Amino acid sequence: MRRRASLVLLAFAVFFAAMAPTLRWYAFPRLAKIPPNQYQETVLEAKPATLLNYSTLKAEKVDSITIIQTLKGNVEESKRIERDAGRDVVVWDSLSYVTGPDGKMVSKIPERYIFDAHTQDPVHATGESVDGDPVRREGIEFKWPFLTEKRDYQYFDAQTRTSAPIHYQGTRTFRGLEVYYFEQTIPWTQVPMPKTMPVKGITPDVLAKTGLTRWYSTKRMFWIDPVTGAPVNGEEIHKEELRNARALMGQDTITVFEGHVKMREDYIVSVVDLVKSNRLMVLMLVSYLPWTFTLLGLALLALSLWLEARSRRPGPDTRPLREAGPGPAPVTAPV
216 beta partners = 189, 240
| Amino acid (one-letter) located at 320 | P
Lowest mean pLDDT among 83-92, 136-145, 303-312: 303-312
Digit-coded pLDDT (tens) for 19-49: 888 888 888 888 899 999 999 999 999 999 9
Cis peptide before 226 (omega within 30 of 0): no
Give the pLDDT band (50/70/90) at residue 98: very high
- pLDDT given at position 124: 94
* Distance between CA atoms of residues 13 and 300, nearest Å: 5
* Distance between CA atoms of residues 20 and 295, nearest Å: 10
Cβ 125 vs Cβ 84: under 8 Å: yes
Phi, then psi, of 115 in degrees rounded to 5: -155, 165
Quote the Cα angle for 155-67-223, to 5°: 40
Give the pLDDT band (50/70/90) at residue 109: very high
Cβ 71 vs Cβ 94: under 8 Å: yes
- The mean pLDDT value for 119-133 works out to 94
Mean pLDDT, rounded, of the chain: 88
Crossing angle of helices 2-22 and 289-312, in 10° steps, is 160
Is the pLDDT score of 145 beyond 50?
yes
* Distance between CA atoms of residues 54 and 249, nearest Å: 10
Contact partners, residue 105, CB within 8 Å, separation at least 6: 97, 98, 99, 196, 198
Cβ 244 vs Cβ 211: under 8 Å: yes
Is the pLDDT score of 223 beyond 80?
yes
Is the pLDDT score of 324 beyond 50?
no
Please state, in angstroms and as integers, the Cα–Cα distance from residue 106 to each residue in 53, 58, 132, 198, 257, following that order: 10, 14, 18, 5, 10
pLDDT over 70, % of the chain: 91
Contact partners, residue 283, CB within 8 Å, separation at least 6: 227
Give the pLDDT band (50/70/90) at residue 164: very high
Digit-coded pLDDT (tens) for 167-221: 999 999 999 999 999 999 999 999 999 998 888 877 888 877 888 899 999 999 9
Is the pLDDT score of 153 beyond 60?
yes
Is the pLDDT score of 137 beyond 50?
yes
Q: What sign has the CA pseudo-torsion 238, 243, 246, 249?
A: negative
- pLDDT given at position 335: 38
Digit-coded pLDDT (tens) for 229-278: 999 999 999 999 999 877 677 788 989 999 999 999 999 999 999 999 89
Is the pLDDT score of 307 beyond 80?
no
- The mean pLDDT value for 303-321 works out to 68
- The mean pLDDT value for 269-291 works out to 90
| Amino acid (one-letter) located at 93 | D
Give the pLDDT band (50/70/90) at residue 226: very high
Residue of higher predicted confidence among 87 and 316: 87
* Distance between CA atoms of residues 96 and 42, nearest Å: 10
Which ranges in the chain belong to alpha helices (H)?
2-22, 28-31, 75-85, 204-210, 246-249, 265-283, 289-312
Is the pLDDT score of 135 beyond 50?
yes
- pLDDT given at position 331: 47
- pLDDT given at position 1: 58
